[in-house]
Structure 1
């Protein structure tokens, strides 16, 4: 294909087809976007004169995918805001700490046991620790569980993950992108990154009244231009000081969420988030060589098993700390199982830093498996609870406690 516009049009059509297929099958759309990208990427099979490989347009699609990452994290910041993060209080601190402690530690151990270098171990730990906010939110809405008692804990863990992600990507990007190998260099990168984040958040909150006045713009066109200018400038500056550009976008979203114009910005950004976000997952698929996936099969399967164990344990522990029943605690662990956009961001960070190429197919396989398994396990959480009940004796313990608490007991 020699015509760039036609290639872009065909890419959008294929993405739409993948979306329709996922909706028909009632599965998360993310693995479908990645798979369709893999099927038509530069590494795919060439069918004679009918060449569907996206070669000339791949760099442009990759750049549009980067924009998609900015919109995904910008919107996430708008949804949560600094104020909500602070008000969520104990559920975030306790449940989130438990979740990160278990999964991050297991991710580090897995990377070291796999014999990977230190920088690659940090990337693997990041890939395996952070769940997909997009998939989790969709699961909660689709299964109509937003009012369930465990949902507050799930959202608390998700928000805690986002804070952890912001700090972690800042530190790892400073190490990987700046090439700092000494302890002093890593510490300096971390201090610069954290200092920049704190400055944006604190200054942003102080400037909310000023932002409210400056953004009081009647013209939607001019309003959009101002918002996008701030988004891209801050994200671009973040990259300049070796902080992931996605974190710059997240910070802008967190700050603007405090303004009186949040709803208007959210409504404006939503279609851009969906369109460019889909291109992000598709562009990630384009970078994957299907023939290279075989080398990452066992590494990916090992990480999946570890994630299943880690998430299940973290869910039970976090639920117990909040006084939730075992059935709700099982639901927590299974609902936050899916991995997606953040794992891919970590893999792309590894690629940008020139780390081992196996991290890309590893992340692709790992995300694909859990993007399918996560929603499925969450949907069947009651069945999983019933299956494991004879082993853990949850029902028997609950009945015993009831009998002990009753006057007759």
Structure 2
């Protein structure tokens, strides 16, 4: 297609997203896998059918950019559902839970790479690919299943933010090792401190500015109100990226701050249509990046092994993190089953390996791994109650939890209940 058909190509993309969305709704299935698969089917790497070329080539860059906007709106809306105060109260348990999550999943990633006999640099890339969950998919699933008010969602949000600090540090280290052959410890520590300090400063300062924000956002015009909100969102998200904090986390932080204002309901109502539209395009654009021809052979078996250890690691991490926060086993299992999805950050790690001239199998491995968990993740989250009930019959989580509660807080004498 020539460039002057760009609008038509984008229109066709939106039409395809709408069609598969309707099919998924009719089947009562998560729409996310459908969006990804249709993106694969018409992406630049897809097949021609005889002389017909249905591949989206000219519009790919634009659609990918629209997808980035979708991630911002997804995380921004998720932040609006919470507040800075609520998140900061759980600071200690979030730090503990985030550490548990990273240690377990990163260690399992290292073991996998070692077991597959990869060189050291490739092992470190594989560990990065398997450690970081997809903020966009997690946000989409939480919103779709109306779980933003659940007790475990606070921990899920905290782990997502904790992962971003880890990602900033890890990319600094890995870039030094893979791209230049060395890494400055001082530079790594500085990057970590900048990322963590920036996030904390934005939350603390933002909370102090709430009375001022209430006055500034008291705008009658819906048009001007939308422009002001979007200006703040894009500026903060964009600036966050310049100091190695993911733009999506910047959007989440803006949402957390604005959730404290008296205008939060008006902002939510404004953002929802943009969240849904651009969020769908993100998953479609993600599918465009996957080459179906690379998804077989050794990469397939390696990715299956990675999926198995990720499912185990996430469930274990979720149960342990939830327990440290005083959550029930059911809520704890929801943590592990919700953040199992992998996406944009895993692809970033694989691209880093490609830029460093590492083994070519890393990219198809990452693509297949991400595709599997992008499909499995929403299903596991939706069916988390059934999965937990089955596991509870085997391991007796509820029985142990009730026994532990009884020891910690004895039933008062005379209480017949």
* TM category, shorter: 0.7 to 0.9
Tell me, yes or no, if structure 1 residue 29 matches structure 2 residue 42: no
* Superposition TM-score, scaled by structure 2 size: 0.80
Q: How does 1:6-155 map to 2 (within 5 A)?
A: 6-88=8-90, 92=94, 95-114=97-116, 115=118, 117=121, 120-121=125-126, 123-127=128-132, 132-134=137-139, 136-137=141-142, 140-141=145-146, 151-152=150-151, 154-155=152-153
Tell me, yes or no, if structure 1 residue 186 matches structure 2 residue 184: no
Distance in 2 (CA, whole Å) between partners of 1:130 and 1:108 is 22
Which residue is equivalent to 1:344?
A: 344
Tell me, yes or no, if structure 1 residue 157 matches structure 2 residue 160: no
Which residue is equivalent to 2:372?
A: 369
Return 224-233 or 246-255, whichever deviates more.
246-255
Return 220-229 or 111-120, whichever deviates more.
111-120
* Superposition TM-score, scaled by structure 1 size: 0.82
Aligned residues: 397
- Contact (CA 8 Å) 1:173, 1:242: kept in 2 or not? no
- Contact (CA 8 Å) 2:38, 2:284: kept in 1 or not? yes
Structure 1, unaligned runs of 5 or more:
none
Distance in 1 (CA, whole Å) between partners of 2:82 and 2:373 is 25
- Contact (CA 8 Å) 1:65, 1:276: kept in 2 or not? yes
Structure 2, unaligned runs of 5 or more:
none
- Contact (CA 8 Å) 2:75, 2:135: kept in 1 or not? no
- Contact (CA 8 Å) 1:19, 1:32: kept in 2 or not? yes
Tell me, yes or no, if structure 1 residue 167 matches structure 2 residue 165: yes
- Contact (CA 8 Å) 1:128, 1:303: kept in 2 or not? no
- Contact (CA 8 Å) 2:100, 2:321: kept in 1 or not? yes
Distance in 2 (CA, whole Å) between partners of 1:344 and 1:61 is 15
